[in-house]
Structure 1
Amino acid sequence: MELSDLKIFIEVVSQGSITKAAERLGYVQSNITARIQLLENEMSTKLLHRHPRGVSPTTAGKTLFDYGEKIITLVDEATKNIQNAPLPEGKLTLGIAQTISLAYHAAIVKHILDRYPAVHVSVMVKHSDDLIAAVANNLLDFALVTGPVHHPDLMEVRVAKEEVVLVSHAKEKINDLSELATHTVLLHESPCAFRKTLESFLTAAKINPPKVLEYGTPESLLNGVLEGVGVSLLPLSAVRKYVDLGLLQATPVKQAHKTLSTVLVFQRQRQASQYFDLLVDTLKAVTGSVGEII
């Protein structure tokens, strides 16, 4: 049963006329009649008596009318309470893994500041393993890391699937992984998921780049690619704006297991906190989708 159909039925009974109900609701009369017939089919019983002066409810119709009024009142009350609920306030501590921060850090913080002005958000940017440990030890409320994590003491929500791409200067298109045999490769010095993924690709394909350079941060690595120093592997979300501006080339990796996930990790009790809904709302706005708890 659709709530809109129930509202139509209540209006028809209240007016004692399908014609008057149609006028008040702004519907054509045939639409009202069809919706009433749909309700009668769902209930497998007649709900209205038709007579020259209009309509009146049958015994079943009177029962539905009484319950319907209560249902509509409760729905309206719930909607009002939810819409008027106070916004979260206080301090939120959030970790964001280094490579993920390239794509989402600024947008996440801006959304929270704009939509939840009473929340003071403190962001820690570190390696995924460090952030997972911090959440497990109650040093952080939540963390966005590369996953899946499968930590025995933590819950996680898949935020986005990250397509990994070979990234090169705009004037140096890389068509295939095999071409790295003749190019300088740039890696993050920490053993992040994207470094491990690229190294596994190179090992499996038996490719030995002529030179490998390590960078301390994803930002410095990205700058190296922008300056034409070499080629690297990064999530498409982190470099999309540079690709759109014509500053970088991004080549999808054809090998298997080319996607990783960004996940939100937290302790179980955090799911009931005001900040969990805040982060789900924020991440949906920033990434476009948030999956189920895994």
Structure 2
Amino acid sequence: MEFKDLEIFQAVVEAGTITEAAKKLSYVQSNITSRIQKLETELNTPLFHRHRRGMSLTPEGKKLLFYSEKILSLTNEMKKAVQRSDEPAGKLEIGAVETVIHLPKILSSFVKKYKNVDLSLITGVTDTLQDDVLHYKLDGAFVSEADFHPDLVSYDVFEEELVVVSDVRASSLEELQDEPFLCFSKGCGYRARFELWYQDQNISPKKVMEFGTLETILQSVIAGLGITFAPRSSVIELEKKGLVRCHTLPNKYSKIKTVFIRRADSYLTATMEKFIETIQMNKQIVNETMND
């Protein structure tokens, strides 16, 4: 078994078909097919269910994926450790929940100082990003504080005040109880906090509408489609313009921390070390800005 076989295996898992995996890796399809067949023969078990919609993992394939991710991650860390340089360089793949309004300050500070780092950013909800970090798909992520997996370590970034956001017609929370709830998909930390408030108030939202971006949610609120739950920092300008109204909730529901997570057992490269250092250096500036 070769490392390349495992890389090809993971590419097929992520793509869902031989065709898409071949495009991603710039290989001919027959090469991908033969590598997968070779792997199945060597392990003496089928790794995929083949069907018209593509390919899905068998139970044995899921087991191999678990070990494959660990093996390839360790291989990558080994290379970084051997080639270690005090000058940050290479790829850094970071995730973030979409509502981290002050994130550009941190990223800008880092990119301007370390120009040899190829930094990419992927957005998602907390649960998905946590899973991606755990499975070595991301180097780290900015997420809402939660009960994280024990294999993760977290660093405080800042604390947000969450508010209920409505159009300007509503003057009290009582008027909003029957309004549709506009939110991100399940796994969003803000959504979970607002659902807790609903539960404690014995309120069941009559309609829940999921959206993919904060911009779409806020524009829908302005149009009177429903209400949402968002950091005050993300809507303060809309509130100043008189486009939305913010409603305060008790601290139990409104105070939430944004943290940066990474795998606790991952090798701390110079790039990640400097990125965490940049977070810590900018934390005070960000918090002062939020309190102004």
Whether TM-score is above 0.5 comes out as: yes
CA contact (8 A) 1:148 1:263 kept: no
> Is 2:110 the counterpart of 1:112?
yes
Match of 2:258 among 252, 257, 262: 262
Match of 2:232 among 236, 244, 259: 236
CA contact (8 A) 1:180 1:207 kept: no
CA contact (8 A) 2:158 2:283 kept: no
Runs (5+) with no aligned partner, structure 1 = 1-84
Mapped partners of 1:121, 1:113: distance in 2? 8
CA contact (8 A) 2:166 2:246 kept: yes
Mapped partners of 2:170, 2:283: distance in 1? 29
TM-score by length of 1: 0.59
> Is 2:199 the counterpart of 1:203?
yes
Alignment map for 1:31-46 (pairs within 5 Å): none
**Cα 1:110–1:247 shift into 2, 3 Å:** farther
- Alignment identity in percent? 26
Runs (5+) with no aligned partner, structure 2 = 1-84, 288-292
Mapped partners of 1:266, 1:286: distance in 2? 17
CA contact (8 A) 1:93 1:122 kept: yes
> Is 2:275 the counterpart of 1:278?
yes
Alignment map for 1:135-174 (pairs within 5 Å): 135-169=133-167, 171-174=168-171
**Cα 1:186–1:128 shift into 2, 3 Å:** same
> Is 2:228 the counterpart of 1:219?
no
CA contact (8 A) 1:96 1:131 kept: yes
In structure 1, the partner of 2:176 is 180
In structure 1, the partner of 2:14 is none
Report how many aligned residue pairs link the two structures. 202
**Cα 1:264–1:89 shift into 2, 3 Å:** same
* Offset of residue 123 of structure 1: 1.0
* Offset of residue 129 of structure 1: 1.6
**Cα 1:190–1:210 shift into 2, 3 Å:** closer
Structure label with greater radius of gyration = 1
CA root-mean-square deviation: 2.8
CA contact (8 A) 2:140 2:261 kept: yes
In structure 1, the partner of 2:188 is 192
Mapped partners of 2:202, 2:263: distance in 1? 41
1:122 partner letter: S
Residue-by-residue CA offset, 1:13-43 (whole Å, 9 max, x unaligned): xxxxxxxxxxxxxxxxxxxxxxxxxxxxxxx
Residue-by-residue CA offset, 1:202-250 (whole Å, 9 max, x unaligned): 2221234454433233332122123332211112232233334443322
CA contact (8 A) 1:164 1:259 kept: yes
Mapped partners of 1:264, 1:197: distance in 2? 19
TM-score by length of 2: 0.60
